[in-house]
Structure 1
Amino acid sequence: MLHGWAMHGGVLRGFAERLAGQYQTIVADLPGHGRSGALAPFELAAVGDALVAALPVRRFALLGWSLGGAIALDIAARYPERVEQLTLLASNPKFVGDGAWPGMRPAVLDGFAELLLADAKTTLQRFLALQVQGLPEQRLLLAQLRQAVADAPPPAEAALRGGLDILKTADLREQWRHLRCPASAIFGGRDMLVPVAAAKALADLRPEAGVYCLDAAGHLPFLSHPEQVMALLRAPQ
């Protein structure tokens, strides 16, 4: 299980514990996040290679949330002999949108990059708040998220910048289309970071994939709707 930008594996711990009744679960800290050492340069392929080298099992299913989804998709494409199944959670093979693809506005990512220079702490707090924006239970979810994030040291600045660069430049649509393993994607209908329109776009690229939308969820379906996500993970691929 791979976490998102500016986070660490601890944010997925509660969900991983739920799954551990049926599966062996491994939650990784990306390089430069949580308790993982830094990696230079923090680039998509290098991050994926480092994670695969560190995993204690030969074959595994991957679940990638947000930025972690891009990294998981890259791993699944380049290590087909290792990955049995892939699930993208509130993620997008091309995070930045354009006229033909639904995604984030480039100005949003540019804004985070500029704010990091001025005040990294405030930038990260704003990012946490954006993930729960518009949800009825946003105060509770934000408190849970902040508590989980506080359980580990803040990410290295180079890792934050590298993660933003991946979000801004990666285009893994062809990798998604040509994956050799079963794949699925789960979206939140109220996600403020990954537009729900990306669900149809992914289904069009790969009709055999299981693409699902939890209408009441935002960017944190593993926190707000864990049982529904677990049920989808158990669905035949």
Structure 2
Amino acid sequence: MPNKARELSLHVQKCQQTGNAPTLVLLHGWGLNKEIWTPVLPRLAEFAHIVTVDLPGFGHSSWQSENSQFDHACHRLMANLAHHLDGPFYIAGWSLGGLFATQIALDYPTYVRRVMTIASSPCFMARESVSISASAPCSQTEAWPGIKRETLEAFRYQLSTNFQKTLERFLAVQALGSPAAKEEIKTMRALLASCPEPAPEALVAGLRWLAEVDLREDLSALQVPLVRLYGRRDSLVPIATSAAITRYLPSHMPASIQFDASAHAPFITEIDRFVDTLNDFVLE
């Protein structure tokens, strides 16, 4: 176990009910922190014990050089969850947090009851083509939807010159397409400012993970149910990802859920439906 000085910051909020309420872990996305869940926490705490986590280098979590490796960052996160929680839990990750949640579900299936990804992808960067036929890999290919390479490269370059401006731009991209974009940007900006600024190294590593981590082929090994939520207006994780991912999933996995009025943050845009969906998620 990591020592106390190096543990991740864990924010735990329990529902008013006592007894056997399920534990639900929530992971935030790139550039933000656990406070992004603040608007929805009181509603979720009505039916679950909620644990929100600052990913390494974000919010109140410290950054260590070895965290630059995605596998190590996931292991550090899981070590802290295991230290703080008594038993198995449900885990939901938004955007980059969904990549963490998926890896944790793959590596620690005895700890995870179900995993949910929210506006997330097992492979964030667009790929020109992927095989859709295992028996004839060269005869039939299809493009993988995602963030354009040049977009991620632009963000990486801007980080080296003005990371605060880069975060502002990223908030705008996340809200792009939402019917309440200005209000959502204002909300996310305020929540971002409520915690310490992210470590520059964490921002750089996070963009690299978004560009390089590819868990598509690993999905067939998932031993726990995966529930996927998408915003139909999302410009970062295109709705086409919902269909493209199915060829990598076991046939028994639940169908995806689409939020028609949402872009990249359905838990802000369509809060009532989001809460209902998570209630169903932990009820199994």
For the aligned pair, the TM-score class normalised by the smaller chain equals: over 0.9
Contact 2:58 2:199 in 1 (8 A): yes
- The alignment status of 1:34 with 2:55, answered yes or no, reads no
| Partner in structure 1 of residue 173 of structure 2 | 130
TM-score by length of 2: 0.80
| Partner in structure 1 of residue 115 of structure 2 | 86
- The alignment status of 1:228 with 2:273, answered yes or no, reads yes
Q: Secondary structure at the match of 1:184?
A: strand
- The alignment status of 1:51 with 2:77, answered yes or no, reads yes
- The alignment status of 1:198 with 2:241, answered yes or no, reads yes
Alpha-carbon RMSD across the aligned residues, in angstroms, is 1.3
What displacement does 1:202 show?
A: 2.2
Rounded Cα–Cα distance in structure 2 between residues aligned with 1:5 and 1:15:
19
The structure having more radius of gyration, on CA atoms, is 2
Rounded Cα–Cα distance in structure 1 between residues aligned with 2:219 and 2:52:
22
| Number of aligned residues | 237
**Alignment map for 1:1-20 (pairs within 5 Å):** 1-20=26-45
Rounded Cα–Cα distance in structure 1 between residues aligned with 2:120 and 2:263:
12
- The alignment status of 1:176 with 2:219, answered yes or no, reads yes
Match of 1:97 among 126, 134, 144: 126
Percent identity of equivalent pairs: 33
5+ residue gaps in structure 2?
1-25, 129-142
Structure 1 range deviating more: 98-107 or 79-88: 98-107
Residue type at the aligned position of 1:29: D
Match of 1:71 among 100, 117, 126: 100
What displacement does 1:203 show?
A: 2.9
- The alignment status of 1:60 with 2:89, answered yes or no, reads yes
> Structure 1, residues 17-56: CA drift from partner, whole Å, max 9, x if none?
3211100010000011101111223221111111111121
Residue type at the aligned position of 2:70: L
What displacement does 1:91 show?
A: 0.1
Contact 2:44 2:279 in 1 (8 A): no
What displacement does 1:189 show?
A: 0.4
5+ residue gaps in structure 1?
none
Contact 2:177 2:262 in 1 (8 A): no
Rounded Cα–Cα distance in structure 1 between residues aligned with 2:41 and 2:246:
26
Residue type at the aligned position of 1:63: A
Rounded Cα–Cα distance in structure 1 between residues aligned with 2:208 and 2:197:
18
Residue type at the aligned position of 2:40: F
- The alignment status of 1:24 with 2:49, answered yes or no, reads yes
Rounded Cα–Cα distance in structure 1 between residues aligned with 2:238 and 2:63:
31
Rounded Cα–Cα distance in structure 2 between residues aligned with 1:48 and 1:17:
27
Rounded Cα–Cα distance in structure 2 between residues aligned with 1:17 and 1:5:
23
Contact 1:115 1:123 in 2 (8 A): yes
Detail structure 1 runs of 4+ shifted over 3 Å in the superposition.
234-237
| Partner in structure 2 of residue 154 of structure 1 | 197
TM-score by length of 1: 0.96
